[in-house]
Chains A and B, each alone.
Chain A
Amino acid sequence: MLILVTGSSKGIGRDLCEEFLSRGHIVVGCSRGQSDLLHDNYEHFSCDVSDESSVIRMVRKIGKTHGGIDVLINNAGVASMNHILSTPISSVKKLLDTNIIGTTLFSREVAKLMMRKKIQGKIINFTTVASALSLEGEAIYASSKAAVQKFTQVAAKEFAPFGITVNCIGPNPIKTDLIKAVPSEKIEKLLDSQAIKRLGKTKDVINVVDFFINQSSNFITAQTIYLGGVHD
């Protein structure tokens, strides 16, 4: 399979790339900067996921080079923790650019490629338990990810005629850069609101990704799976 992972230079994105490479898949990744991931089956693009022309060029190039994309993992995301009253609008726009515009752009361009190549593709988006739990201090992040969930549900309907499924995974806190600025007592409080009270691990995310991309999951679309027993 050819798997495209956005936000692939670090964190969950990087781990996903390494996992799929270890299984013999071809992986294409992107991030704003370069990647030090070196592998014969890995290709990296420096790309701002919210820049329309960059995304179009990147997806077209993958189509020409590899023929198609089987799986898109819209992992690129930005988090922000702040009180609404002290949140600058520039931060809001930056976060929406990556979380909403990026997910929309890649889904649009990759779905077109999947449709043209008649690939029964899989698109996986990322939401967060912060959305389901309406966490204080996460208004913009949680809102943007709630939008990603709704986008997932509508995209699932619009792409279903082409045999493309669209699903969403909502990780709980995992030790990555995304939560490094969150105070430990806040993490503890969040974990306490989960049914299973522990930090998530990359392998928990991979397990859900595996379920969504399995060819036996062709009847699974528009769904969100949260880790740790969180629910809407």
Chain B
Amino acid sequence: MLNEDKSIEMIIESLKDLIDEDTEDEKKVTLLNASSDTRLFGGDGVLDSMDVVILLSDLEERLDEEYDIAISLASDSIMSKARSPFRTVKSLSKYVIDAVSN
């Protein structure tokens, strides 16, 4: 059963997977030390739009593999810098739990 703690843990693991050889040091530190309050997208968030679609895809795969939940996390508001559920780890966690519940 996916609860808030588990979804935050899953998101933090996914954020680590975004790191590759091209990731800048400052961004790498933020991703490696992400917590529920970490700002992800919009404002001073650490992710760009490409990171967001990769993260979305990775979370969908984790939901399928770890919880046997095959859903799409697509939404019209994902690329909105003001309203995106990807604003913070916490808002993303709520979004994922809502999507799974629905």
* Chain A residues within CB distance 8 Å of chain B: 52-53, 56-57, 60, 108, 112, 115-116, 161
Contacts and interface: CB of A to CB of B under 8 A. Distances in A.
A112 B70 contact: no
B50 interface: yes
A56 B72 contact: yes
A108 B78 CA distance: 15
A130 B61 CA distance: 39
Given A56-B70, A161-B50, 8 more contacts: A52-B72, A53-B70, A56-B71, A56-B72, A60-B70, A112-B57, A112-B60, A115-B57
* Size class of the B contact interface (CB-based, 8 Å): 10 to 19
B100 interface: no
A107 B26 CA distance: 34
The 7 A-B pairs at the shortest CB distance, nearest first, are namely: A112-B57, A60-B70, A57-B70, A56-B70, A60-B64, A56-B72, A116-B57
A116 B61 contact: yes
Contacts of A116: 57-58, 61
18 contacts: A52-B72, A53-B70, A53-B71, A56-B70, A56-B71, A56-B72, A57-B70, A60-B64, A60-B70, A108-B74, A112-B57, A112-B60, A115-B54, A115-B57, A116-B57, A116-B58, A116-B61, A161-B50
